[in-house]
Amino acid sequence: MTETDPPRAGAHESDRHPFETGLDRNPANYVPLTPVSLLARAAASVGGRVAIIDGARRLTYADLYTRCRRLASGLARRGIGRLDTVAILAPNVAEMIEAHFAVPMLGAVLNPLNTRLDPATIAFSLDHGGARVLIVEAEYGALAARALADRAGPILVVEIGTSGIAGAVPYETLLAEGDPAYAWPGPADEWQSLCLLYTSGTTGDPKGAVYSHRGAYLQALGNAVTFGFTAESAYLWTLPMFHCSGWSYPWASVAACATQICLRKVEPAAIFALIAEHGVTHLCGAPIVLSMIAHAPASDRVPFRQRVRCAVGGAAPSSTIIRTMEDLGFQVTHLYGATESYGPATVCLEQPDWADLPDDDRYARMARQGVALATLEAAIVADPDTDQPVLQDGLTVGEICLRGNTVMKGYLGNPDATARALAGGWYRTGDLAVWHPDGSVEIKDRAKDIIISGGENISSLEVEEVLMRHPAVMLAAVVARPDATWGESPCAFLEMKPGATAPTDRELIDFCRERMARFKVPKTVVFGPLPKTSTGKIQKFVLREQARAL
């Protein structure tokens, strides 16, 4: 029985166990977990340390805490309170970090919006999430104006810079209205909703994953420990903060009292320059970001002395990318997760004996999705039909399932989708994987991306890995194409490196035949730019349609 359980029928206080008597919660020994407390601690302990570098701006932890309290107070004075939604449309600027603390301070819910979406989708998110405030940075003023024209109902618009939206309140004016000593209430309960993150749905409307204060706090600690953050760390924002709340790194960086360096636009020249100027030690990104860095022209590259830890999520990086990144001074770590898991859920932990492996074998190990973060309860590979864990033999395929405090509360206003995603007490990722004897998981494909050719299962990821070893290939995506003989056959879409000459179909097929089983070799090859989502992921559903039309 816990303190919240009802007493047993007929039970008296004297019947309670000694460990349940006189040991109740009170403010001295129980405070709801919230990432906001991480900022309060940092301001109190290292207030003079630089927390944020944003161009020429420098904010210390004391500055950051004061500005967040002013923003929370200013919103409160304009009628915003507990569980009200505050949306923000902005690039990776200091104000985006401030919003990740100020809005939860108030007990309100932050809704970071994807700046790459169309006005109609943004309007849907504002309506569905019930946004009462929209904070918009000047660069996205026109986009916000079009989105607001597509929706009805009042909303307070707060502009960072000059957005051009009539009636917008300047961000700094709102801060000036606020109390720098604001006694923020925080959450009434650590299960209280903190963030609303919309997934970029490929069919139908986006789904809004809801985070809790408890989950965000624990994910911050899990990220900090996993990525080796310390107070000496300098984290470069190459990952958009609107994506899974920047994989929860706004909170993780503050948990470690690290410095966050803002970057409005991901450009290799700017990345190299900032790494060298500010001694960057950590950065994150999708595989496309690593590809941009790895293939940056020599004129964009600036030498730096430190080793930079680089976490990559999404599809596993190819061995070619890992090799190039290491040569440039980066240490690549593969993370795996989803919007529904606050970003990273598993990490590929490098083992001491990997150093003795041949490079190709070591890179293959590094590309695994790995094991659960310390703050995730469990990550397993289960048989989708029986829900039982598969053998840890590295061969049996099942679905990756996650469980723990860093799994979303559910999808806002969508109980059916929530029930499906969290069925059986696990978050069903939809990713097919094997489970290795050392406990690490390795994705073989999305369930919908497996190619079945002549009764044989072909992993599109395996074929893509081989294709990206070709010296001219920068990105590869493989999907199923209808085949009269085999049912399906692999169709490869390839994007070439800048300045590279595309090989002929025959040259590429011969290249593959030397490196994989013949039945896995693509029977069709298409050259050209690959369609990508707003977060840089390749849109395979678009390519499947193109393959069917060939």
pLDDT over 70, % of the chain: 94
Beta pairing, strands 330-338 & 451-453: unpaired
Q: Are residues 411 and 543 in the same domain?
A: no
Answer positive or negative: Cα dihedral of 349, 355, 359, 360. Answer: negative
**Could you give the CA distance from residue 125 to residue 195 in angstroms, rounded to a whole number?**
13
The string of pLDDT tens digits covering residues 62-115 is: 999 999 999 999 999 999 999 999 999 999 999 999 999 999 999 999 999 999
The pLDDT value recorded for residue 454 is: 63
- Residue 227 in contact with residue 252, Cβ under 8 Å? yes
DSSP run (H or E) holding 326:
helix 319-328
Q: Are residues 283 and 149 in the same domain?
A: no
Question: Domain end: 387, 421, 447, which one?
Answer: 447
As a whole number, mean pLDDT of residues 505-517 equals: 86
Q: Is the pLDDT of residue 465 over 70?
A: yes
Exposed, middle or buried by CB within 10 Å (0-12, 13-18, 19+), for 424? exposed
The pLDDT value recorded for residue 485 is: 73
The pLDDT value recorded for residue 170 is: 98
Tell how far CA 169 is from the center of its chain. 30
Q: Are residues 365 and 479 in the same domain?
A: no
Q: Are residues 75 and 173 in the same domain?
A: yes
Classify residue 430: in a domain, yes or no. Answer: yes
**Could you give the CA distance from residue 458 to residue 467 in angstroms, rounded to a whole number?**
14
The pLDDT value recorded for residue 445 is: 72
Q: Is the pLDDT of residue 6 over 60?
A: no
Count CB neighbours of 129 within 10 A.
21
Domain of 79, in residue numbers: 37-44+59-183+190-218
How high does pLDDT run on average in the chain? Answer: 90
- Residue 529 in contact with residue 539, Cβ under 8 Å? no
Classify residue 351: in a domain, yes or no. Answer: yes
Classify residue 7: in a domain, yes or no. Answer: no
Which of 9-18, 90-99, 305-314 is least confident?
9-18
The pLDDT value recorded for residue 535 is: 62
CATH number at residue 101: 3.40.50.12780
The string of pLDDT tens digits covering residues 205-244 is: 789 999 999 999 999 999 999 999 999 999 999 999 999 9
Q: Are residues 371 and 311 in the same domain?
A: yes
DSSP run (H or E) holding 268:
helix 268-278
The string of pLDDT tens digits covering residues 374-402 is: 999 999 999 988 889 999 999 999 999 99
Question: Domain end: 429, 447, 465, which one?
Answer: 447
Write b or e for each residue in 200-223: b if 16 or more Cβ atoms lie within 10 A of its Cβ, otherwise e: beeeeebbbbbbbbbbbbbbbbbb
> Could you give the number of structural domains in the chain?
3
Q: Is the pLDDT of residue 14 over 70?
A: no
The pLDDT value recorded for residue 12 is: 61
Classify residue 10: in a domain, yes or no. Answer: no
Q: Are residues 209 and 90 in the same domain?
A: yes
Q: Are residues 359 and 400 in the same domain?
A: yes
**Could you give the CA distance from residue 460 to residue 447 in angstroms, rounded to a whole number?**
11
The string of pLDDT tens digits covering residues 522-540 is: 999 999 999 886 666 788 8
